[in-house]
Amino acid sequence: MRNLTSNLHPVMAKALAPFVYQAQFSLGIDVQTKDTLELCERLKALPGTISVKFGGVYREGPEFSQVHVVTRLTEAQLDDWLYVNCGDVEWVGVFPLEVTA
């Protein structure tokens, strides 16, 4: 991503820094229902997380639930973070959420 403030005076660049666009990704995580709260707490503490919410229990299999997260991490980065940091949480996978207007 191109840094839009690189050609500006340093004072102006610092003032505009909060307004520079950063990509956001809406992702879902399938997780065992018993581990949902633990996963939500860990995600809230993860730098780059914008929001975390419970996505509901699967009707067909209530032992699994969804967690919805808006983050600055890509799907692959979040999957890698889960693999490294959440070995004790039974999560199944990460998937993109479709955003509807």
State pLDDT tens for residues 12-63. Answer: 667 666 666 678 999 999 999 999 999 999 999 999 999 999 999 999 999 9
In a domain, 2, yes or no: no
The CATH number for 87's domain is: 3.30.70
> Would you call 59 helix, strand, or coil by DSSP?
coil
In a domain, 6, yes or no: no
Report pLDDT for 63.
Answer: 96
Report pLDDT for 22.
Answer: 75
In a domain, 65, yes or no: yes
Under a CB-based contact definition with an 8 Å cutoff, are residues 33 and 64 in contact? Answer: yes
- Band of pLDDT at residue 97, cut at 50, 70 and 90: very high
Under a CB-based contact definition with an 8 Å cutoff, are residues 35 and 91 in contact? Answer: yes
Domain that holds residue 46: 21-96
Number of domains composing the chain? 1
Q: Kindly report the pTM of this predicted structure.
A: 0.77
Report pLDDT for 40.
Answer: 96
What is d(CA 2, CA 85) in angstroms, rounded to the nearest whole number? 31
